[in-house]
A and B are shown apart, each in its own frame.
Chain A
Amino acid sequence: MGVFEALMQGFGVALQPMNLLWALVGCGLGTAVGVLPGIGPALTITLLMPVTVSLSPTAAFIIFSGVFYGAMYGGSTTSILINTPGESGSMITALEGNKMAKRGRGAAALATAAIGSFVAGTIGTALLTVAAPAISEIAFIFGPAEYFALAILAFTSVSVVLGASMVRGLLSLFIGLALAVMGTDNQTGAARLVFGVPELLDGVGITIVLVAMFAVGEILFVASRLSKEPQQIINVSGPIAMTREDWQRSWKPWLRGAAIGFPIGVMPAGGSEIPTLLSYALERRLSKHPEEFGHGAIEGVAGPEAANNAAVAGVMVPLLTLGLPTSATAAVMLAAFQNYGLTPGPTLFTTNTELVWGIIASLFIGNFMLLVLNLPMARVWVKLLAIPKPHLYAGILIFSLVGVWGLSQSPVDMMLLAGLGLLGYMFRCHSIPIAPALIGLILGPMAELQLRRALAIGQGDPLTLVSSPVAAALLLAALALLSLPLMRAMRSR
C-alpha cells in the first residue's frame, strides 16, 4: 500500500464525526493548557490517560495529538500578550512578539505566529507522512543491540542538550533510571528497591512520577516564590490580521523555520528549544531590518514559531517509527501507547495501519482546527488567565489527586506523590531538567531488556554490543555528545 492511499485511509478514520469531535476536544484542551501557567501538554495527557481508557486507542491518540499541537499555539499567544512563555519552545516568541505587542502590533504578531505555526505544522506533518514509513522500514533491521544503542543515544543526548549543565542533565537521567528499576525484575522475578513494601512490587507508576514532578513540584515551587507583580495583559485592538508588508516579511521565515525545525525535531533530543533559537539567529542575520531585532521584528516571531511547530511534527517521527521519545510529551505518549498494549515501532505501521494513519491524518486536521481556533479567538483564550492564581493551582492539585488516587486508591501512591513532588521541587530549585528523568523512567526498562537480549544472543560477550555497524555508530555518536561539553570546557581554559 502506497503512502498516499494509506493517508487517505487515515483521513477516512480521522474524518468520522466522533473522531473530529475528539480532535476538537484535544485542540481546545491543548490551547487552554498552553495559555495557562503551571500545566503543560505532558501533564495534561497524563491526567487524560485514566479518562480515555474507555475510548478506542485511535480516539485517545487523536485527543493527545491535539493537546500536543495545541499547547504550542496557546503558548505563543501568552508569550506575545503577557511575555510569559507557557512552554519552553515559545521563549523566543516572548522576546520579539511581546515587544511587537507593546508597540501596538500585537494583532500582526498573533497572526504571523498562528499562520506560521499552521504552515510549518502542515509542512512538518507532510514530511512526517513521507519519512515515517521509510524510517520504519529501516527499523526492521534493528536487533536488540541496535535498540540498546539507540536508547543510550537518546539518554545521552537528552541529558546533554537539555538544561543548564550536563551534570544536572545526567543526574536527572539517572534518577529516572533508578525509578525505572524499582519493582519486580521482568526476567528473573527478583524484587529490586522494594524494601518489603508489596505495593512497590509493580514499580512506580509513570502517572505518579509525571503528576508529582510536573504538577506537585510546580505547585510547591511557585508557592515558595510567589510573584507579587500582577500580570500585564496587553490589549489588542482590531482584527487579528497582517498587512501586505507583514506577509512579505513573514513567508520566508516560516519556510526556513520549518526547514530547521523538522530535522532537529526528528533527531534524538531535538525538542523545540534548539530549533527556535537557531531560527531566531538565522532570521536576525538574514533580515533587512536587523536593527528592529530586540524591539519587535516580525521575522523574529514568524521564524521561531514555525520552527517550534515543525519540530513538534518531527518529534512524532522517532516516536511512531522507533518508539523513541525525544521530549517529555513524547515520553508520555509512549507511556500511553504502552497502556494500550501497543508498541510503537516498525510493526505498528503494518499491524495497526488504521491507528497510525488515523493519527497522522488527524494531525493535518488538528493543525487546521487550531488555526481556526486561534486566529479569531486569541482574545477569548487569554480570558482564561482571569482565573485567580490561588484557584488555578488549587484546581491543578485536585486533578492531580484524581490522577493518582484513581489509579488504585492506595495510600502508598499518595506517599510517593508527596515524596516525588518534593523531589520535583528540588529539581526546580536547582535548575535540573525534568525531561531526562522521564525519558530514563520510560525508556529504561526497554534499554535493560534489549541489553540482556543482546548479551544473551552474544552469549555474554560485551563486544556483541558494538559488532554491528549501526549499533557501533549510534554508541559512537552518544560518546561524542558526552565528550562535547568536556572539550568545550577544556578549550575555554
Chain B
Amino acid sequence: MTPASENRTPAQRMLRWGLPVLVIGLGLLLVAEGYRLPLTQAYAGIGPGFLVLVIGLALLLLGAIIAIQVARGVAFEPEETEGADVTAPTSWSGLGIAAAAIILPIGLIGGVGFPVAGGISYALVTRAYGSRSLLIDLLIGLVVASVTWFLFSKLGVQLGPYFSLLGAR
C-alpha cells in the first residue's frame, strides 16, 4: 500500500515540498501582520497583534518540523476516504475538472444567476466522476439547480434572481 519513496518520479518528490513551503509562507504572512499591529495595549497587556504573531511563529515552527520530516522521507499518505482509492495515482484530469466546477461559479454565479451556474458546475462534477453523457448531465444539473433555487428561495434563503445577464441584477 505504501509506495516506496524511490518509486516516485522527480515531480512527485517536488510535490512533497508543497506542504512545508505553504505552511512556512503562511507563517511568514502572519508574523509580518503581527508586527504591523500593536502588540501591547494599556491595561490588558496584549494588543491585537499579539495572537497573530504567536500563531505565525507556531506555523513557522510546524513548517520547519514538517520540512525536516519531508527531508527524512516521512510518509504523508492520504487518508482513507469512502469512495476513494488512496492507492491509485492522482488523476489530474479528474481533479482539474472538479476544481473548474468550484472555480467557475466565482465569476459566473453573479453573472448568469444561481441556476445556470449551478447547472454547469453540476455537469462538470459528474464529468470529473466519470460520467460521459455531458448534455444529459447538464440538463439534470439545470433541473436540480432550478428546483434547489426555487425551494430555498421559498425557505427564505436569498439566492439572487433566477436568471440574470452580466450585471443586470
- Taking Cβ atoms with an 8 Å cutoff, the residues of A that contact B are 37-38, 50-51, 53-54, 84-86, 164, 167, 170-171, 174-175, 177-178, 181, 185, 187-188, 190, 192-193, 216, 218-229, 388-391, 393-395, 397-399, 401-402, 405-406, 408-409, 411, 414-415, 417-418, 421-422, 425-426, 428-431, 448, 451-452, 455-456, 459-462
Contact = CB atoms under 8 A, between A and B. Distances in A.
B95 A171 contact: no
Nearest to B33: A193
Contact of B78 (A174, A390, A431): A431
B37 A192 contact: yes
B121 A401 contact: yes
Nearest to A190: B48
Contacts of B122: 394-395, 397-398
A405 B159 contact: yes
Contacts of A430: 19, 76, 78
Interface residues of B, number: 81
Given A229-B85, A452-B44, A409 B55 contact: no
B97 A220 contact: no
Given A53-B156, A190-B38, A220-B102, A398 B121 contact: yes
Contacts of A170: 58, 62
B2 interface: no
Contacts of B48: 185, 187-188, 190, 192
| Residue of B47, B95, B148 with most partner-chain A CB within 10 A | B95
A192 B33 contact: yes
Contact of B129 (A229, A390, A405, A429): A390
A178 B110 contact: no
Contacts of B110: 409, 411
A53 to B, nearest CB: 7
B44 A456 contact: yes
Given A170-B58, A222-B83, A405-B105, 19 more contacts: A51-B152, A51-B156, A84-B83, A85-B82, A164-B79, A171-B23, A174-B62, A188-B48, A190-B37, A190-B48, A222-B81, A224-B91, A224-B98, A227-B84, A388-B131, A402-B148, A405-B109, A418-B103, A426-B18
B41 interface: yes
Contacts, number: 237
B55 A220 contact: no
Interface string B42-57: 0111111101100110
A63 to B, nearest CB: 13
Interface in B100-125: 101-103, 105-107, 109-110, 114, 117-118, 121-123, 125
A393 B105 contact: no
Task: In the A-B complex, list the 7 residue pairs whose CB atoms are closest, starting with the nearest.
Answer: A460-B45, A37-B82, A390-B126, A223-B98, A390-B129, A224-B95, A394-B125
A50 B51 contact: no
A462 B50 CA distance: 14
A225 B33 contact: no
Contacts of B62: 167, 170-171, 174
Given A188-B48, A219-B125, A222-B83, A391 B78 contact: no
29 contacts: A38-B82, A50-B152, A54-B155, A167-B62, A170-B58, A170-B62, A171-B59, A171-B62, A174-B58, A178-B55, A178-B59, A181-B55, A188-B38, A190-B48, A193-B52, A222-B81, A222-B83, A222-B84, A225-B88, A391-B126, A394-B126, A402-B114, A406-B152, A421-B102, A430-B78, A431-B79, A452-B44, A456-B43, A460-B44
Contacts of A229: 85
Contacts of B58: 170, 174
A95 B58 CA distance: 38
Nearest to B99: A220
Contacts of B30: 178, 193
Interface in B125-167: 125-131, 137, 140-141, 144-145, 148, 152, 155-160
Q: Which of A38, A389, A405, A418: most chain B CB closer than 10 A?
A: A405
A225 B114 contact: no
A223 B78 contact: no
A37 B83 CA distance: 7
Among the interface residues B92, B109, B157, which one has the most CB atoms of the partner chain A within 10 A? B157
Given A402-B152, A456-B45, A411 B82 contact: no
B28 interface: no
Contacts of B92: 224
B84 A395 contact: no
A418 B106 contact: yes
A456 B141 CA distance: 55
Contacts of A177: 51, 55
B125 A455 contact: no
